[in-house]
Structure 1
Amino acid sequence: MANRLKDYFPLIRERKEVLKEIGSSMALSTLFDSWEQERQEEFLDFCTGVKGVKVLYDSFFKEIMNPEYSPGRLNRFLSLLLGKRVTIKQVIPNDSTRIAAEGSLLVTDIVVEFEDGGLADIEIQKIGYAFPGERSACYSADLLLRQYKRAREKIQGRNRKFSYKNIKNVYTIVLFEKSPAEIKRLENAYIHKSFWGFDTGLELNLLQNFIFIALDIFRKNMDNKSVENELEAWLMFFGSEEPERIIELIESYPDFRVIYEDIYEICLNMEKVMGMYSKELQELDRNTVQYMIDEMQEIINEQKETIHTQTEVLNDQKQTISSQELLIKDQKQQYEELLRRVRDLENKKG
């Protein structure tokens, strides 16, 4: 399989060449030996073309998809996804508070401004957060507020009166490597686009747009199927490491050949690519730990709820038993009073 990719990318090196370069440096050898064997094999596989690189690794994604370096790539993907031509004007700083709070599960988070002033937040989540709808709504609101402030400052800087017509659309776009439960339930759908509507047919532009992309479900739905359009090609590029799929892409869509060439150029710089991969492994460890913590917290919360429910049931049962005891006691007293009267009557007759 490695030879097949090497036919398309002659710069791909053999396994022994990669190991030789690693072994020639104490620093690289130490770093390589610090990885688990499974991770070592994964690294060697993508460096030698046995498998493709995980494009959604943060370091690799930002290296090959960064609008500041290669603006046409993200422009093209977003244009296909949004169904209209968009041009990224600039990348704007992320919300540092949000990153600090959620960096453990958020692989990539890029906020861009379009030429028309609209904003888009492109996220890659390795493991889907709990409550994806509520969470996305909160950060979309934050994105809309940022867009509002930017538009207001721009208009006021020109000494013009602000109008809400100056506010443009904001987009929250999330690519899931592993989808949350809510999305997994729809096993035949992998692109989810929101729409706003009213029961009366009223039409208003409410500005906030959400697009969720489930790459795990996409891959499952593409089993034994060929890519049929360019948007599917992009999703396959993001979601698959299979050499067969890589060859399919570069043969059907030659623009991807250039991107893969950039990836294998990175792999030639052993110090750089090992540093990028090591960073990804650290993030992966944090992701796994955080995911386990979140899962355990969910179990604890469910157990607490169960205990609370059971406690309420027990309390209800105690109250029922107490009421029954009082009733029995009252009936016993009535019986004893009745028995006493019967005896009194019998004594009088006697």
Structure 2
Amino acid sequence: MLMTSDFPFQRPPVIWPEPADTTEELSSRLRKNSTLYDRYQRLDRKWKGRLSDFLTGRKSLPLTYDPFFKFIFNPDYHQDRLSDFVSSILGIQITIVEVLSMEDTLMDGESYLIMDLVARTKDGSIINVEIQKQGYDFPGERMACYASDLLLRQYIKVKKSHGHSPHDFSYRDIKPVYVIVIFEHTTPELRLENNSYIHYGKTTFDTGIELHMPERFCIISLDVFREIPYSKLKKCTQSAWLLLLSTETLKDAERLILDYPWLEPIYQEIAALRRKPEEVFDMWSEALLRMDENTLKYQVERMQAEVDKLKQDAIKSKQAAIESDAENQKLREQAKSDQARIAELERLLKEAHTV
């Protein structure tokens, strides 16, 4: 942000003439700026190491984190890039025309969990791309809710669109909605023995009738994809994009550029950030904040699930005890009845012997 007469206290962003090549040089440069050095020192050891590896050119950015992903696929500058990525994933030609505001999400309280990126296509379809660092519970239910949110957005827009009165609305105007979820750590129920890493789904009927159900789903298991040797991967645009999201070392990046030269401008943009430590720190802070929020949400969900299970177990135990008491009472009454019957039979036998 440039200094202006209207904002005299604003300072220009920190931009280095050349990136740092060593950890020592990086540390020396950061010490010269108290704000940057303080932010660097407040990072834990793991994240301090990852940031240092990037700024010194040893590793690329972790592109599966939301701010870095949006940096690469920023539709204001790279609309075609986002369109190509989504097209390769869905296997159909997609043209992104706008990215929808996250503030418009209709699912209250879930805005930091749902939808890393929501976009509208040329034909009116809506696409959600979400990257989950860890697999949350109930992934199917979550995706269904995401699709419902997207459909409701579209429904409202179509009803309000120019030239449509409420009476002119037709459900035939509803276009497909696509939910794409990329798991970095796949949940057990999504792992198959054949190592399939991409799954497509939609609503179907057991009788084979065909109705236009607009929800479309795509699940990508990035960790399963990483387990496949590079030489075994099909050389295609889809593989290239997933490799871009998976690759961190410069050696792997160089190999990727040799096979897919069109990725080179992306890596050049990433490399240019090494001269802009302040911008990188801002993105890193946002990534860590988002991760902390999601981790907290995940932990709360797991604890709530544990509490619910314990409550259910307690109810079952109490019910079993009640049933056990009832059964014991029934047995006691049966035993008492049996004893009375035995006594009666013995009396009758005794009378029979005396006749």
Q: TM-score, normalised by structure 1?
A: 0.86
Shift of 1:345: 7.9
1:313 to 315, 320, 324: 320
Is 2:30 the counterpart of 1:25? no
Q: Does 1:217 align with 2:224?
A: yes
Tell me the equivalent position of 2:8: none
Q: Secondary structure at the match of 1:232?
A: helix
Q: Contact 1:194–1:211 at 8 Å: present in 2 too?
A: yes
Q: What RMSD in Å do the two structures reach over aligned CA positions?
A: 2.7
Aligned match for 2:260, one of 253, 257, 267: 253
User: What is the aligned counterpart of 1:60 among 68, 77, 84?
Assistant: 68
Question: Unaligned 5+ residue runs, structure 2?
Answer: 1-17
| Residue 57 (structure 2) aligned to one of 35, 41, 49 | 49
Aligned residue pairs total: 337
Partner of 1:70: 78
Residue by residue over 1:105-146, the C-alpha shift from the partner in whole angstroms, topping out at 9 and shown as x without a partner, is: 45x521111111111111112122211112211221221122
Aligned residue type for 1:93: S
Q: 1:51 Cα deviation (Å)? A: 2.2
Which amino acid in 2 is paired with 1:54?
P
**Cα pair 1:188 1:217 within 8 Å, conserved:** yes
| 2:98 is equivalent to residue 98 of structure 1 | no
Task: Measure, in 1, the Cα distance between the counterparts of 2:338 and 2:166.
Answer: 88
Q: Secondary structure at the match of 2:240?
A: helix
Q: How far apart, CA to CA, are the structure 1 residues paired with 2:279 and 2:230?
A: 34
Which residue matches 2:296?
Answer: 289
Residues 1:181 and 2:188 are matched in the alignment: yes
Assess if the C-alpha contact under 8 Å between 2:66 and 2:287 holds in 1: yes
Match among 14, 35, 44 for residue 36 of structure 1: 44
Counterpart residue number, 2:14: none
Structure 1 residue aligned with 2:251: 244
CA distance in 1, matches of 2:101, 2:199: 26
Query: 2:126 pairs with 119, 131, 138, which one?
Result: 119
How many Å separate the matches in 1 of 2:153 and 2:168?
Answer: 19
Between 303-312 and 139-148, the greater mean CA deviation after superposition: 303-312
Note if 1:80 corresponds to 2:88.
yes
> How high is the TM-score relative to the length of structure 2?
0.85
Question: Does the CA-based 8 Å contact 2:123-2:175 persist in structure 1?
Answer: yes
Cα distance in 1 for residues equivalent to 2:209 and 2:20:
57
Aligned-partner Cα distance in 2 for 1:166–1:128: 34
Other-structure match for 1:6:
none
Amino acid at match of 2:246: G
Q: Greater share of helix residues, 1 or 2?
A: 1
CA 227–241 in structure 1, closer or farther in 2 if over 3 Å, else same: farther
Are residues 187 and 293 of structure 1, via their aligned partners in 2, closer, same or farther at CA, if it must alter by over 3 Å?
A: farther
Equivalents in 2 of 1:102, 1:256: separation in Å? 31
CA–CA distance in 2 between the matches of 1:205 and 1:21?
A: 59
8 Å CA contact 1:140–1:171 kept in 2: the answer is yes
Aligned-residue offset at 1:18: 1.8
**Residue deviations 1:36-76 (CA, integer Å, cap 9, x gap):** 11211111112223222101211111122111121111111
Distance 1:159 1:283 in 2: 40
Q: 1:286 to 1:166 in 2, by over 3 A?
A: closer
Report SS of the residue matched to 1:124: strand
Other structure's SS at 1:123 match = strand
Contact conserved, 2:130 with 2:180, CA < 8 A, in 1?
Answer: yes
Percentage identity across paired residues of the two chains: 32
8 A contact 2:79–2:97 mirrored in 1: no
Please give the alpha-carbon distance, in whole angstroms, between the structure 2 residues aligned to 1:215 and 1:44. 25
After superposition, the Cα gap between the structure-2 partners of 1:269 and 1:73, relative to the gap in structure 1 and judged at 3 Å, is same
Distance 1:12 1:211, change over 3 A: farther
The amino acid across from 1:190 in the alignment is: Y
Distance 1:285 1:146 in 2: 28
